[in-house]
Chains A and B, each alone.
Chain A
Amino acid sequence: MYLIHQLLEQNAERFSERDAIVYQDQCISYQALADSAKRLAHALLAHGVKPGNRVAIYLDKGIEAVISLFGVLKAGATYVPLDPLAPPQRIAVILEDCGVTTIISPHARLAQLQPHLTQRCALKFHISSDNPTIPGDKLKEITWQDVMEEDSKDFIEIPMVESDLAYILYTSGSTGTPKGVMVSHRAALCFIQWACERFQLAPEDRVLNQAPLHFDLSIFDLFSTLMAGATLVLPPPGLSVIPHSLSTFLASQKISVYYSTPSSLIALILHGNLQGQEQYALRLILFAGEVFPPEHLRQLMQAIPEACYFNLYGPTETNVCAYFEVKDAPATGTQAIPIGKASANTELVVLNAHGVVDREGELYVRGPTLMSGYWGRPEQTKQCMIENSQQPYLYRDRLYRTGDQVRRLDDGNLMFLGRLDNMIKSRGYRIEPEEIERILVRHPDIDEAAVVPVPDLRIGNTLSAIVACHVHPAPTVRELKRLCAKHLPDYMVPQRIEVIESLPKTSTGKLDRARLRDQASKTQDPLNR
């Protein structure tokens, strides 16, 4: 097996009638999932999709979305999952950035997108997941029903190799626009297989897919689960809003494996009534994406003592590259949990400011799970995928530069110390403050803007924007928030915006972020804890 969709095809034979996906009152077996994916692949190829094309999946979570991922992969194309909650402007930027030719979405969602698409847009083909085609559209369009009626008997396998791209995930970019992380079949499969074996996923497991499909935590849920012949349970819409509904769902659905950011788990601990009467089948709880405050982890481990707990670490660019099993919650104190040691086939290198291996410094990662680069951004790729000067004879080997500062502990585990740049983590999302700042200064009355993190026990950080304005009266906070929300997903809209006359500068004339961070932490609104 060297391509990720092959895991489904293998298991369609081994576990044909077993439930692959459960969503509300629907379920689909391994065999039916593989058949449907094949029909979609057939339809894509029949309508001109070529291997290597980018196909966007702009669907809410559901069985169709999972069929779509596998269908796109089987057609030899690359899937680009889009955030259904992001503003259409941002989605249009992404579609144009990586030249998406085909999109699978509800009809209305595409209609909302169309006014924002420019000449650069390469979109030619739409698969409508709901309404039938409306004649007169410039795009060629078929419906999901047409796809499922495809006769795929004469489907010919597309020749592919493991270095072909499987998917592109977009993350916040410090240049002001999101950037696409290209992940090959080899990189993804290497992680998927490791996770499946390391966590001993088995056909009896029921794994909840908490993470959105455009977030890299979902790779484990989707692919490691199906590689094991286990069942993936998709949450009904809005399940996470009420933590108590989530804890009841975990119990009633007999979820055995749960993977999310600490933020979702913290909501569950604080408000999910975990100590209630429910019986949980949870045997494995994984978390990643941000630092888990130890006091909350302690509470969680007391509430569900039967489960094993792992802290996973890895930016989207490397997949999970380090992990740490939390055996005992720290009894007291606030000492953070290590990010641990390298996962299989991966090497973690700590280099100090002089580029020499040291106990403390920046973390570099090498191994087969690394991304292939940022789509259409060779310069940015070069900046973070650097030559391995530690082993010059490995002339083609590359190290990924994480921008994370770490310390190697005596037992070999790594401890995360902080970021070397301005990146902010909130709800597990990576946020480049520059991306938000560029939006704020689009307002004609705003001269300068800075976005800084305010530490928050529940979600890691909240965002606070400080803007300089020369006009009286200054634009209202509501107006500025609306401007942000037009271009940015909800988690990137600052919760607090303060208007001042000019931003503080350092002696060298640079924006004094440290001072702004301190001020923002001190003046935070008690309601915006």
Chain B
Amino acid sequence: MTSTATVDTAEQIRQFILEELLYDRDDVELDDQTALLETGVVDSMGIFRLIDFIEAQFGLPIQAEDIRVEHFQNIDAIGAFIRSLKK
């Protein structure tokens, strides 16, 4: 895993969130540490769209037991989670 790939993963997630989930929120500055769950950026619908995106984009099936707060709390966490799935 190169650092470029890491950046790419994070960037793709960020783009997805900006386009699909945050299109109407100017009050949120999205960085890799922004809390996604507490702030409602990712809600109960958003989480599934995000999962569908990860599964389709990276070809990684996500198991129910992996859908946990610690894997989705911010972009950094999602990136780390995707890297762990790839291993």
Contact = CB atoms under 8 A, between A and B. Distances in A.
A194 to B, nearest CB: 30
B69 to A, nearest CB: 6
B64 interface: yes
A427 B53 CA distance: 20
Contacts of B72: 242
A521 to B, nearest CB: 17
A490 B47 CA distance: 14
Contact of A244 (B38, B42, B51, B65): B65
Interface in A437-465: 458-459
A458 B44 CA distance: 12
B37 interface: yes
A485 interface: yes
B67 interface: yes
Contact of B23 (A271, A427, A481): A481
Given A238-B37, A244-B65, A527 B49 contact: yes
A242 B77 CA distance: 15
A242 B67 contact: yes
A488 B52 CA distance: 25
B87 interface: no
Interface string B26-57: 00000000000110101111111101110010
B86 interface: no
Interface string A467-494: 0000000000010011001100011010
A193 B41 CA distance: 39
A526 B56 contact: yes
Given A267-B48, A526-B56, A242 B69 contact: yes
A238 B56 contact: no
A493 B48 CA distance: 16
A276 B67 CA distance: 14
A60 B62 CA distance: 32
A459 B45 contact: yes
B43 A490 contact: yes
Interface string A242-278: 1111000000000000000000100100111100100
Given A270-B64, A490-B43, A528 B49 contact: yes
A419 interface: no
Contact of A271 (B37, B67, B69): B67
Contacts of B49: 527-528
Interface string A491-529: 101000000000000000000000000000000001111
A437 B53 CA distance: 28
A427 B43 CA distance: 13
Contacts of B46: 241
B64 A238 contact: no
A218 interface: no
A186 to B, nearest CB: 35
A87 to B, nearest CB: 8
A240 interface: yes
B64 A241 contact: no
A493 B21 CA distance: 11
A529 B52 contact: yes
A276 B65 contact: yes
B42 A527 contact: no
A485 B24 CA distance: 6
A238 B46 CA distance: 12
Contacts of A238: 37-38, 40, 43
Interface in A202-243: 237-238, 240-243
Contacts of A237: 38
A243 B24 contact: no
B23 A245 contact: no
The residue in A241, A242, A481 that gathers the most chain B C-beta atoms within 10 A of its C-beta is A241
Contact of A241 (B19, B44, B53): B44
B52 A527 contact: yes
Contact of B24 (A264, A267, A276, A481): A481
Contacts of A243: 64, 67
Contact of A240 (B19, B38, B44): B44
Nearest to B65: A273
Interface in B66-87: 67-69, 72
B14 to A, nearest CB: 15
A244 B47 contact: no
A219 to B, nearest CB: 22
A74 B28 CA distance: 40
Contacts of B23: 478, 481-482, 485
17 contacts: A85-B40, A238-B40, A241-B37, A241-B42, A241-B43, A241-B47, A242-B68, A242-B69, A245-B69, A273-B65, A276-B65, A427-B45, A478-B19, A490-B43, A490-B45, A527-B49, A527-B52
Interface of B: 19, 23-24, 37-38, 40, 42-49, 51-53, 56, 64-65, 67-69, 72
9 nearest CB pairs, A to B:
A485-B24, A240-B44, A273-B64, A271-B64, A481-B23, A271-B67, A273-B65, A478-B23, A482-B24
Given A242-B68, A271-B64, 5 more contacts: A238-B38, A241-B42, A242-B69, A244-B65, A245-B68
